[in-house]
Structure 1
């Protein structure tokens, strides 16, 4: 699998593989006795001929705030809205799959968030059933809008 470039919200680049970074975070947070939950989501934005994607790994310290890691990616491939929504989901699942063994090992709950509206009057809703089936079929907990804050709020803020 190709090495993705991750960064923190403050712009600091992560120099080691994300799996090593996440393992260190889980050890540190466990030592500090923080109860964690992780939410992974992706959002995208079309700008002229490019589509920018932002995938986030959001760590929530129950009752004590949170922090996230960000990966941005750009493509010139033209996509329908449904294709773009399912690409977002696939990107989130790739990251979730890469890290799920660690979350299981450290007993951390993880959810995959899809920036797809549950209201049928929105175009993104066309991808809801496929996205839900894809995520749940991989064995992950699924959230869609309005509960999908990792994709619709966190990733949305860092898609460039």
Structure 2
């Protein structure tokens, strides 16, 4: 019997409204197989927006073939209260990203690596990044959380990126939180 522990993870994009994680993973593999010699970055990042009665979290899952295109989807989570404490919100954003990263088991990551492996001498590559919607700039309210959040991403084997390089969290996911 197939393990359905991922059934509560529903993703969507402009073409499909209710995708399971398995379906998302199939899309990623299809996208990579269409050009196995690509330079692929699998990027997961979450952003949030506080509304009057709730806080909306959007996690973006993006497979990017540098300079050649992208396939992406989102997962939406709504917390039925205003999360006004910045550290709590940033930490929860990261937890949601960590949850999605954990679905990419070693077996799944190896399946993706196996697509590009025969083409590494042609420049093919595969990396996994976690985009965190925080910045280290002096005027950035989130700068005090950078070390903690970056360490959390690194500890799960994902290359952390913060603003201005965290575009999946700060741009893509952000568009859907409004």
Fold equivalence (TM over 0.5): yes
What runs of 5+ residues in structure 2 fail to find an aligned partner? 114-125
CA RMSD of aligned residues (A): 1.9
Aligned length: 158
- Shift in Å at residue 139 of structure 1? 1.7
Paired residues of 2:46 and 2:169 also in contact (CA < 8 A): yes
- Per the alignment, in what secondary structure is the counterpart of residue 110 of structure 1? strand
Taking structure 2 as the reference length, what is the TM-score of the superposition? 0.80
Deviates more, 1:100-109 or 1:43-52: 100-109
Deviations 1:92-118 (A, max 9, x none): 111011114322332131100000011
Partner residue of 2:74 out of 70, 73, 87: 70
- Please identify which structure carries the higher strand content: 1
| 2:116 is aligned with 1:103 | no
Q: 1:46 to 1:34 in 2, by over 3 A?
A: farther
- Shift in Å at residue 67 of structure 1? 2.2
What runs of 5+ residues in structure 1 fail to find an aligned partner? none
- Shift in Å at residue 34 of structure 1? 5.2
Separation in 2 of the partners of 1:21 and 1:13? 11
The 5 Å alignment of 1:25-64 reads 25-33=28-36, 35=38, 36-64=40-68
| 2:86 is aligned with 1:86 | no
Q: 1:24 to 1:97 in 2, by over 3 A?
A: same
- Shift in Å at residue 78 of structure 1? 4.2
Deviations 1:3-61 (A, max 9, x none): 122101x152134x213431343145224335221110000000112100000101111
Structure 1 ranges of 4+ moved more than 6 A: none
